[in-house]
Structure 1
Protein backbone atom coordinates (compact mmCIF):
# COMPACT_ATOMS: atom_id res chain seq x y z
CA UNK A 1 0.00 0.00 0.00
CA UNK A 2 2.80 2.39 0.97
CA UNK A 3 4.63 1.71 -2.30
CA UNK A 4 1.47 2.36 -4.32
CA UNK A 5 0.91 5.69 -2.57
CA UNK A 6 4.52 6.66 -3.23
CA UNK A 7 4.11 5.81 -6.91
CA UNK A 8 1.22 8.28 -6.94
CA UNK A 9 3.57 10.91 -5.52
CA UNK A 10 2.30 10.86 -1.93
CA UNK A 11 5.01 10.69 0.69
CA UNK A 12 3.70 8.66 3.61
CA UNK A 13 5.36 6.46 6.18
CA UNK A 14 4.43 2.94 7.15
CA UNK A 15 2.88 4.00 10.46
CA UNK A 16 0.57 6.48 8.73
CA UNK A 17 -0.43 3.82 6.19
CA UNK A 18 -1.07 1.34 9.01
CA UNK A 19 -3.27 3.87 10.85
CA UNK A 20 -5.23 4.70 7.68
CA UNK A 21 -5.74 1.03 6.87
CA UNK A 22 -6.91 0.30 10.42
CA UNK A 23 -9.34 3.23 10.20
CA UNK A 24 -10.72 1.88 6.89
CA UNK A 25 -10.96 -1.66 8.26
CA UNK A 26 -8.38 -3.03 5.80
CA UNK A 27 -5.96 -5.80 6.64
CA UNK A 28 -2.92 -6.78 4.65
CA UNK A 29 -2.02 -10.40 4.04
CA UNK A 30 1.56 -11.11 4.95
CA UNK A 31 3.45 -14.06 3.59
CA UNK A 32 4.82 -16.29 6.26
CA UNK A 33 8.03 -18.23 5.81
CA UNK A 34 7.61 -21.92 5.10
CA UNK A 35 8.46 -23.97 8.19
CA UNK A 36 10.10 -27.32 7.58
CA UNK A 37 9.30 -29.93 10.16
CA UNK A 38 11.51 -32.81 11.17
CA UNK A 39 9.86 -36.21 11.42
CA UNK A 40 12.30 -37.19 14.15
CA UNK A 41 13.37 -40.33 12.26
CA UNK A 42 16.91 -40.87 11.07
CA UNK A 43 17.53 -40.23 7.37
CA UNK A 44 18.87 -43.10 5.25
CA UNK A 45 21.71 -41.59 3.21
CA UNK A 46 23.10 -43.60 0.28
CA UNK A 47 26.57 -43.24 -1.22
CA UNK A 48 26.97 -41.08 -4.34
CA UNK A 49 27.63 -43.82 -6.91
CA UNK A 50 26.89 -41.65 -9.94
CA UNK A 51 29.66 -39.12 -9.13
CA UNK A 52 28.46 -36.63 -11.77
CA UNK A 53 29.00 -39.16 -14.58
CA UNK A 54 25.89 -38.27 -16.57
CA UNK A 55 27.01 -40.08 -19.75
CA UNK A 56 25.06 -43.33 -19.81
CA UNK A 57 25.39 -46.01 -22.50
CA UNK A 58 21.96 -47.66 -22.41
CA UNK A 59 18.38 -47.19 -21.24
CA UNK A 60 17.42 -48.30 -17.74
CA UNK A 61 20.99 -47.89 -16.49
CA UNK A 62 20.46 -44.73 -14.40
CA UNK A 63 17.25 -42.96 -13.39
CA UNK A 64 17.17 -39.60 -11.61
CA UNK A 65 14.40 -38.24 -9.43
CA UNK A 66 13.39 -34.98 -7.83
CA UNK A 67 10.39 -33.19 -6.33
CA UNK A 68 9.30 -29.68 -7.25
CA UNK A 69 6.30 -27.54 -6.45
CA UNK A 70 3.84 -25.67 -8.64
CA UNK A 71 1.48 -22.95 -7.47
CA UNK A 72 -2.09 -23.60 -8.56
CA UNK A 73 -4.33 -20.74 -7.50
CA UNK A 74 -3.58 -20.12 -3.83
CA UNK A 75 -2.34 -23.66 -3.17
CA UNK A 76 0.79 -25.61 -3.94
CA UNK A 77 0.92 -28.92 -5.77
CA UNK A 78 4.00 -31.12 -5.59
CA UNK A 79 5.33 -33.01 -8.59
CA UNK A 80 7.75 -35.92 -8.31
CA UNK A 81 9.39 -36.93 -11.58
CA UNK A 82 11.72 -39.74 -12.60
CA UNK A 83 13.80 -39.46 -15.79
CA UNK A 84 15.89 -42.04 -17.61
CA UNK A 85 19.33 -40.46 -17.91
CA UNK A 86 20.02 -42.11 -21.28
CA UNK A 87 16.75 -41.18 -22.98
CA UNK A 88 16.43 -37.87 -21.07
CA UNK A 89 12.69 -38.51 -20.81
CA UNK A 90 10.25 -38.64 -17.95
CA UNK A 91 9.47 -42.29 -17.26
CA UNK A 92 7.42 -41.78 -14.10
CA UNK A 93 5.65 -38.95 -12.30
CA UNK A 94 3.12 -38.23 -9.58
CA UNK A 95 1.23 -35.20 -8.21
CA UNK A 96 0.19 -34.65 -4.61
CA UNK A 97 -0.90 -31.95 -2.18
CA UNK A 98 1.91 -33.07 0.14
CA UNK A 99 5.60 -33.59 -0.59
CA UNK A 100 5.97 -36.86 1.27
CA UNK A 101 7.58 -40.24 0.63
CA UNK A 102 4.37 -41.62 -0.89
CA UNK A 103 4.65 -39.05 -3.69
CA UNK A 104 8.19 -40.18 -4.57
CA UNK A 105 7.18 -43.86 -4.27
CA UNK A 106 4.25 -43.38 -6.66
CA UNK A 107 6.53 -41.77 -9.27
CA UNK A 108 9.08 -44.58 -8.82
CA UNK A 109 6.44 -47.31 -9.23
CA UNK A 110 5.09 -45.63 -12.38
CA UNK A 111 8.62 -45.53 -13.81
CA UNK A 112 9.23 -49.18 -12.96
CA UNK A 113 5.95 -50.33 -14.51
CA UNK A 114 6.30 -48.15 -17.64
CA UNK A 115 9.77 -49.62 -18.28
CA UNK A 116 8.82 -53.27 -17.73
CA UNK A 117 10.12 -53.55 -14.14
CA UNK A 118 13.87 -53.63 -14.94
CA UNK A 119 16.23 -54.80 -12.18
CA UNK A 120 19.56 -53.29 -11.17
CA UNK A 121 18.82 -49.72 -12.31
CA UNK A 122 20.66 -47.05 -10.32
CA UNK A 123 18.25 -44.45 -8.92
CA UNK A 124 19.99 -41.13 -8.20
CA UNK A 125 18.43 -38.23 -6.27
CA UNK A 126 19.21 -35.47 -3.82
CA UNK A 127 18.95 -35.95 -0.06
CA UNK A 128 15.37 -34.72 0.16
CA UNK A 129 13.27 -36.20 2.96
CA UNK A 130 11.22 -38.17 0.41
CA UNK A 131 14.31 -40.06 -0.79
CA UNK A 132 15.92 -40.62 2.63
CA UNK A 133 12.81 -42.21 4.13
CA UNK A 134 12.41 -45.87 5.10
CA UNK A 135 9.29 -46.03 2.91
CA UNK A 136 11.19 -44.97 -0.22
CA UNK A 137 14.08 -47.34 0.54
CA UNK A 138 11.54 -50.19 0.77
CA UNK A 139 10.00 -49.15 -2.59
CA UNK A 140 13.47 -49.22 -4.19
CA UNK A 141 14.10 -52.72 -2.86
CA UNK A 142 10.65 -53.83 -4.02
CA UNK A 143 11.47 -52.60 -7.54
CA UNK A 144 15.00 -54.08 -7.46
CA UNK A 145 16.80 -50.73 -7.84
CA UNK A 146 20.08 -49.44 -6.35
CA UNK A 147 20.11 -46.07 -4.59
CA UNK A 148 22.61 -43.25 -5.13
CA UNK A 149 22.41 -39.77 -3.61
CA UNK A 150 23.99 -36.38 -4.12
CA UNK A 151 26.14 -34.98 -1.37
CA UNK A 152 24.33 -32.55 0.90
CA UNK A 153 24.21 -29.04 -0.58
CA UNK A 154 25.78 -30.09 -3.91
CA UNK A 155 23.15 -29.36 -6.55
CA UNK A 156 25.65 -30.20 -9.32
CA UNK A 157 25.62 -33.85 -8.18
CA UNK A 158 22.03 -34.08 -9.45
CA UNK A 159 22.39 -31.53 -12.25
CA UNK A 160 20.78 -33.77 -14.87
CA UNK A 161 17.52 -33.66 -12.92
CA UNK A 162 17.75 -30.09 -11.64
CA UNK A 163 17.85 -28.41 -15.05
Structure 2
Protein backbone atom coordinates (compact mmCIF):
# COMPACT_ATOMS: atom_id res chain seq x y z
CA UNK A 1 0.00 0.00 0.00
CA UNK A 2 1.40 3.40 -0.99
CA UNK A 3 1.67 6.21 1.51
CA UNK A 4 3.36 9.57 1.64
CA UNK A 5 4.58 9.43 5.22
CA UNK A 6 8.08 10.54 6.11
CA UNK A 7 10.53 7.65 6.35
CA UNK A 8 10.89 6.30 9.88
CA UNK A 9 14.03 4.71 11.28
CA UNK A 10 15.31 1.17 10.83
CA UNK A 11 16.44 0.40 14.38
CA UNK A 12 17.27 -3.25 13.72
CA UNK A 13 19.77 -2.67 10.89
CA UNK A 14 20.09 -6.43 10.30
CA UNK A 15 20.82 -7.13 13.99
CA UNK A 16 17.88 -9.41 14.72
CA UNK A 17 18.98 -10.83 18.10
CA UNK A 18 16.24 -8.94 19.98
CA UNK A 19 13.69 -8.33 17.24
CA UNK A 20 10.60 -9.84 15.71
CA UNK A 21 9.22 -8.89 12.32
CA UNK A 22 5.70 -8.45 11.02
CA UNK A 23 3.92 -8.12 7.69
CA UNK A 24 0.68 -8.76 5.81
CA UNK A 25 0.23 -10.81 2.65
CA UNK A 26 -2.70 -11.37 0.32
CA UNK A 27 -4.32 -14.76 -0.32
CA UNK A 28 -6.79 -15.19 -3.22
CA UNK A 29 -10.11 -16.97 -3.00
CA UNK A 30 -11.79 -18.71 -5.93
CA UNK A 31 -14.49 -16.00 -6.05
CA UNK A 32 -11.77 -13.44 -7.00
CA UNK A 33 -11.82 -11.86 -3.55
CA UNK A 34 -8.85 -11.66 -1.20
CA UNK A 35 -8.19 -12.47 2.42
CA UNK A 36 -5.21 -11.18 4.35
CA UNK A 37 -2.67 -12.98 6.51
CA UNK A 38 -0.97 -10.91 9.20
CA UNK A 39 2.05 -12.64 10.72
CA UNK A 40 4.57 -11.96 13.46
CA UNK A 41 7.81 -13.92 13.06
CA UNK A 42 10.76 -14.54 15.36
CA UNK A 43 13.90 -14.79 13.20
CA UNK A 44 15.95 -16.05 16.15
CA UNK A 45 14.14 -19.39 16.34
CA UNK A 46 12.60 -19.27 12.83
CA UNK A 47 9.05 -19.55 14.12
CA UNK A 48 5.78 -17.76 13.57
CA UNK A 49 4.89 -16.21 16.91
CA UNK A 50 1.32 -15.38 15.88
CA UNK A 51 -0.83 -15.07 12.78
CA UNK A 52 -4.38 -14.08 11.89
CA UNK A 53 -6.41 -14.25 8.70
CA UNK A 54 -8.94 -11.51 8.05
CA UNK A 55 -11.33 -10.29 5.39
CA UNK A 56 -9.88 -6.79 5.55
CA UNK A 57 -6.34 -5.45 5.76
CA UNK A 58 -6.80 -3.24 8.82
CA UNK A 59 -4.95 -1.84 11.80
CA UNK A 60 -7.19 -4.03 13.95
CA UNK A 61 -5.93 -7.17 12.17
CA UNK A 62 -2.25 -6.39 12.81
CA UNK A 63 -2.96 -5.17 16.35
CA UNK A 64 -4.80 -8.37 17.31
CA UNK A 65 -2.00 -10.42 15.78
CA UNK A 66 0.59 -8.56 17.85
CA UNK A 67 -1.52 -8.94 21.00
CA UNK A 68 -1.63 -12.69 20.41
CA UNK A 69 2.13 -12.74 19.78
CA UNK A 70 3.03 -11.31 23.19
CA UNK A 71 0.39 -13.22 25.11
CA UNK A 72 2.41 -16.30 26.07
CA UNK A 73 6.03 -15.46 25.40
CA UNK A 74 8.77 -12.99 26.18
CA UNK A 75 8.46 -9.73 24.29
CA UNK A 76 11.17 -8.56 21.93
CA UNK A 77 12.93 -5.22 22.26
CA UNK A 78 12.05 -4.35 18.64
CA UNK A 79 9.32 -5.10 16.15
CA UNK A 80 10.31 -4.52 12.54
CA UNK A 81 7.69 -3.87 9.85
CA UNK A 82 7.15 -1.91 6.70
CA UNK A 83 5.45 1.48 6.76
CA UNK A 84 2.06 0.23 5.60
CA UNK A 85 -0.86 2.21 6.98
CA UNK A 86 -1.80 -0.62 9.35
CA UNK A 87 1.62 -0.62 10.99
CA UNK A 88 1.91 3.14 11.36
CA UNK A 89 -1.66 3.52 12.62
CA UNK A 90 -2.29 5.10 16.01
CA UNK A 91 -3.90 1.87 17.18
CA UNK A 92 -0.81 -0.23 16.43
CA UNK A 93 1.72 2.35 17.60
CA UNK A 94 -0.14 2.77 20.92
CA UNK A 95 -0.04 -0.98 21.47
CA UNK A 96 3.73 -1.11 20.92
CA UNK A 97 4.21 1.85 23.27
CA UNK A 98 2.08 0.14 25.92
CA UNK A 99 4.14 -3.04 25.49
CA UNK A 100 7.41 -1.07 25.61
CA UNK A 101 8.47 -2.43 22.21
CA UNK A 102 10.42 -0.11 19.90
CA UNK A 103 9.16 0.03 16.32
CA UNK A 104 11.69 -0.37 13.52
CA UNK A 105 10.77 0.24 9.88
CA UNK A 106 11.91 -0.96 6.49
CA UNK A 107 13.15 1.65 4.07
CA UNK A 108 10.44 2.56 1.55
CA UNK A 109 10.75 0.33 -1.50
CA UNK A 110 13.12 -2.10 0.24
CA UNK A 111 11.15 -5.21 1.25
CA UNK A 112 14.40 -7.09 1.87
CA UNK A 113 14.91 -4.96 4.98
CA UNK A 114 12.25 -7.30 6.37
CA UNK A 115 13.68 -10.39 4.74
CA UNK A 116 12.64 -12.95 7.33
CA UNK A 117 8.91 -12.30 7.14
CA UNK A 118 9.07 -11.77 3.36
CA UNK A 119 10.77 -15.17 3.02
CA UNK A 120 8.23 -16.85 5.29
CA UNK A 121 5.29 -15.47 3.31
CA UNK A 122 6.98 -16.37 0.01
CA UNK A 123 7.57 -19.96 1.15
CA UNK A 124 4.01 -20.23 2.47
CA UNK A 125 2.63 -19.10 -0.88
CA UNK A 126 4.82 -21.53 -2.85
CA UNK A 127 4.04 -24.49 -0.60
CA UNK A 128 0.38 -23.87 0.23
CA UNK A 129 -1.37 -20.92 -1.40
CA UNK A 130 -0.32 -21.46 -5.04
CA UNK A 131 -1.07 -25.18 -4.72
CA UNK A 132 -4.59 -24.80 -3.29
CA UNK A 133 -7.84 -23.29 -4.47
CA UNK A 134 -9.40 -21.72 -1.40
CA UNK A 135 -13.12 -21.02 -1.49
CA UNK A 136 -13.56 -19.51 1.98
CA UNK A 137 -11.62 -17.68 4.66
CA UNK A 138 -12.21 -20.69 6.93
CA UNK A 139 -10.35 -22.95 4.48
CA UNK A 140 -7.44 -20.50 4.41
CA UNK A 141 -7.37 -20.27 8.20
CA UNK A 142 -7.34 -24.06 8.69
CA UNK A 143 -4.59 -24.51 6.09
CA UNK A 144 -2.39 -21.74 7.51
CA UNK A 145 -2.96 -22.93 11.10
CA UNK A 146 -1.89 -26.45 10.12
CA UNK A 147 1.17 -25.21 8.24
CA UNK A 148 2.58 -22.97 10.97
CA UNK A 149 2.13 -25.23 13.99
TM over 0.5: yes
Q: Equivalent residues in 2 for 1:39-78 (5 A)?
A: 43=5, 46-54=8-16, 56=17, 61-74=18-31, 75-78=33-36
CA RMSD of aligned residues (A): 2.1
Contact preservation (8 Å) 2:7, 2:108: no
In structure 2, relative to structure 1, the CA distance for the partners of 1:44 and 1:122 (3 Å cut) is: farther
CA deviations 1:19-55 (Å, max 9, x no partner) are xxxxxxxxxxxxxxxxx697xxx8585310111234x
Task: Specify which structure has the higher proportion of helix.
Answer: 2
Gaps of 5+ in 1: 1-35
| Residue of 41, 47, 72 corresponding to 1:83 | 41
How many pairs align? 118
Partner of 1:134: 90
Structure 2 regions of 5+ residues with no counterpart? 120-149
Cα 1:76–1:130 shift into 2, 3 Å: same
2:99 aligns with 143
- Structure with bigger gyration radius: 1
TM-score by length of 2: 0.71
2:7–2:107 Cα contact (<8 Å) kept:
no
Asked which structure has the greater RCO (Cα within 8 Å, sep 6+), the reply is 2
